Homo-oligomer: A and B are copies of this chain.
Amino acid sequence: MSPNPLNELGSLGDYLREQRQSAKLSLRQVAELAGISNPYLSQIERGLKRPSAEILQQLAKGLEVSAESLYVKAGILDEEFAHDPEALDVRRAISHDARLTARQKKTLLDVYDSFVEDLDSAPAKTPATTRTPR
């Protein structure tokens, strides 16, 4: 059932270990800085356990990286979302708007697509289906 089996987990662990080693810190040091136990950190780095968001927050603090970047690697946050959205994209903005229902999003996206379709010379774009950005 778990949507992020161990792929993303391993990637997260690798990233954490890289960060720790490039900072020349031991497992115990980072564990202490983050306020978690060192055996547990060891298991996280090797992808054996799946840390909660709370633990990720503490680890981010200890490693001096952003919590959001860890969330992204753990698969609980969209990458696009973490990247500060200076680059504005209408489709993306619409699909992330918490105030819109799914149906309203589809309506807006369809309208938008119909507008831009006209100027894309003759693209024969996919008409109605909501294309998930990503």
Chain A: residues with CB nearer than 8 A to chain B? 2-4, 52-54, 57, 64-69, 71, 74, 76-77, 81, 84-90, 92-94, 96-102, 104, 107-108, 111-112, 115-116, 119, 123-125
Complex CA–CA separation, A125 to B124 (angstroms):
33
Bound CA span A69–B81, Å: 12
Contact B97 A90 (CB under 8 A): yes
Q: How far is the CB of A78 from chain B (nearest CB, A)?
A: 8
* Count of identical protomers in the assembly: 2
Nearest CB of chain B from residue A108's CB, rounded to whole Å? 6
Contact B87 A90 (CB under 8 A): no
The answer for the CA separation of A115 and B125 in the assembled complex, in Å, is 26
A104 to B117, CA, bound (A): 12
Considering the complex, give the chain B residue whose CB is closest to the CB of A120: B99
State whether A98 and B65 are in contact (beta carbons under 8 Å apart), knowing that A81-B85, A108-B112 are contacts in the complex.
Answer: yes
- If the complex has contacts A53-B76, A68-B81, A76-B57, are A97 and B108 also in contact, measured as CB distance less than 8 A? no
A67 to chain B, nearest CB (A): 8
Identify 8 new A-B residue pairs, CB closer than 8 A, beyond the known A64-B102, A87-B97, A88-B93. A71-B77, A77-B77, A85-B85, A85-B96, A93-B93, A98-B124, A100-B115, A108-B115
Q: Which residue of chain B is the closest to A23 with respect to CB atoms?
A: B101
